[in-house]
Amino acid sequence: MQLSVIIVSWNTRELLSRCLSSLKPELAGIESEVFLVDNHSADGSADMVAREHPWVSLIANDENLGFAAANNQALKLSRGQCVLLLNPDTEVGATAISHLLSFLQEHPQAGVVAPQLLNSDGTIQRSCREFPTFLGMSFELLGLSRLFPDREVFRRYKMLDFDHNTQMQVDQPEGACLLLRRQVIDEIGMLDEGYFMLFEEVDWCYRIKKAGWQIWFTPDSQVVHHYGQSIKQVKVRMILSSHRGLYRFWSKHYRQGRWYMDWLVWSGLMCLAYLRIGAHFLRQGFGSGKAGASAA
Task: Give the model confidence (pLDDT) of 19-37 as tens digits.
Answer: 999 999 999 999 999 999 9
pLDDT at residue 67 above 50?
Answer: yes
State the pLDDT at residue 210: 96
What distances in angstroms separate CA 206 from CA 79, 91, 209, 274, one per listed residue?
24, 27, 5, 27
What percent of the chain is predicted at pLDDT more than 90?
64
pTM: 0.85
Alpha-helix runs per DSSP H in the chain: 13-26, 45-52, 67-77, 96-106, 134-141, 144-147, 152-155, 182-188, 200-210, 235-253, 259-295
Output the average pLDDT for the chain.
86
pLDDT at residue 201 above 80?
Answer: yes
Q: Where are the domains of the chain?
A: 3-127+164-228, 133-159, 233-295
pLDDT band at 79 (very low <50, low <70, confident <90, very high): very high
pLDDT digits over 252-291, tens only?
A: 877 766 655 666 666 666 666 656 667 667 777 655 544 4
Do 136 and 157 touch, CB atoms closer than 8 A? yes
pLDDT band at 228 (very low <50, low <70, confident <90, very high): low
**Strand pairing partners for 85?**
6, 178
**3-127+164-228: in CATH 3.90.550.10:** yes
pLDDT digits over 159-197, tens only?
A: 989 999 999 999 999 999 999 999 999 999 999 998 887
